[in-house]
Structure 1
Amino acid sequence: MKAALKRAILLLNILLILAGCTSVTEKGNRVINTKMGSERVDGITYTSKGQNFRQRFIILHYTVSDRERSIDLLANKDVSSHYLITDRENEPIYYLVDENKRAWHAGISSWGSFSNLNDNSIGIEIVNKGFVMKDGKMNFYQFPSWQIHKTAVLLLDLIKRYEIEPQNILGHSDIAPQRKQDPGPLFPWKELYRDYGIGMWYDDTVKEKYKNAFSEGVTPEDVQKELKKFGYGIVVTKEYDEQTKNVITAFQFHFIQYKYDGVMDAETYAVLKALNEKYKK
């Protein structure tokens, strides 16, 4: 068996050399063959201590479209994501972009000290029509339970393989609150945390500790600093401006899902403080 493997590798190397490509060896070393010459690359003798995974974030989206248009958009246009979960229960999860390559799903984005999250994230698109406007309000579409289960299975695999931190599993609206709403307030973040141990959620006992904090004289500057501390891209202007309303709305989409009016109140502020205490020590 071992001799057969050696012969197979030798044959593959010959074919690669003839094609002007890089060859492989049993131990993971390689030889670079080009028209300029050949060089041996040793990937075994030394290994750098200073390294980690490129994949630091997972960003969840809805497609704002039906299955056919979603597939066409993500497979044939400039927009892309690493994975697509359709609205057909019997279909597999589609793997569209190699995890080690950059997909174009995040756009202009930031979280904490990171920006341009296409560079260091895995994007997951879920077929869902998003929302429709009715009487001046956004009415969002539900996600079926089986679709969330598929999402959870995929997330658990990615989290394990890339050691993704809970605070780095985010929605598109979290990293781009001035222009995005997905995956919206009907995406069950609490369920993912409770049933699968995925992502962030606050502790009720800690939230109770902060229930009176807002009424004790919290300023717009205080709110902006807390949101910025949590990770949102926000400029501290010391006033409740449009950008702050959008960030508060994104926060409510994720954590106060029965209320997403962009208004900071005692409940929203207590949850924000509880999350910062838990994840941003």
Structure 2
Amino acid sequence: MKNCRRERCIELFFLFISITALLILIGIFFFLFYTGMQTFFEVSPAEFFLGRQWNPAAYGEPSWGILALIAGTLMVTFGALLIAIPLGIASAIYLSDIARPGIRETLKPAIEMIAGIPSVVLGLIGILFLSPLIAQIFGLNSGLNALTSSIIVGIMVLPTIISISEDVLTSLPQEFREASLALGATKWQMIRMTLLPAAMSGIAAAIMLGLGRAVGETMAVLMAAGNSRAMPSSFFDPVRPMTANIAIEIKEVVQGSLHYKALFAIGLVLFVMTFAVNFISDIIIQRHVRKYKW
């Protein structure tokens, strides 16, 4: 009887924690929604989402277009994924099926430690070492651009993709490997034609979670992206992602002003983007679990 009462208390405690977390998330969303949507009483949605110029503090007519900010965010995000996806999947394959146990036990914690490096440190590395190197290699006046930010964010995304992909590949039944090799497949054929297709939904979920991580990154892109509000035309142009724009301008605005509300509208756009990415990745993971449940 006493044990049942204790278990019931533990269940109620965790239920309370879960409901609290959900209420906090809902509260954040409604605060962003309430504050951000007030922007559209004074600025049309077409101007806000399709305008190419963001200049709320102009002496003349202010501009409220976030298209250049969205473009900067997408360039840094997908540039980071172009770097992180092949490296992450290759590393996961090496750790799960090629590396010796001693090497695996050394490399995996080292890779996961990258996630613990503060983003400001990686941003500092981008400013002091990577950006001069990029400028020298490509003959640029400044190395603070979308390419430098993509490399830095790609490094930050790598632990997520590697860790989840390696866990998915390791969780596949050993019978998959044994049956493939018994049919005469080489180790590479076994990986390419058996393991990767079976683990594809889990790997896709890892990529989606990495995407959410890249979209929400602030400090590294604030330091290494160049902070230009102009519409970028290539990865060698400086950009200002939405997260960096909020971090730069929120301290300068008057609470309750249109500028203040517009920044919260940008935050609402980011919230919806990251929530959608995480929601889709959760669906993919659950589908993978149901498909390969043993």
TM range (shorter): under 0.3
Structure having the higher strand fraction is 1
- For normalisation by structure 1, the TM-score amounts to 0.21
**What TM-score do the two structures reach when normalised by structure 2?**
0.20
Q: Which has the higher contact order (CA 8 A, sep 6+)?
A: 2
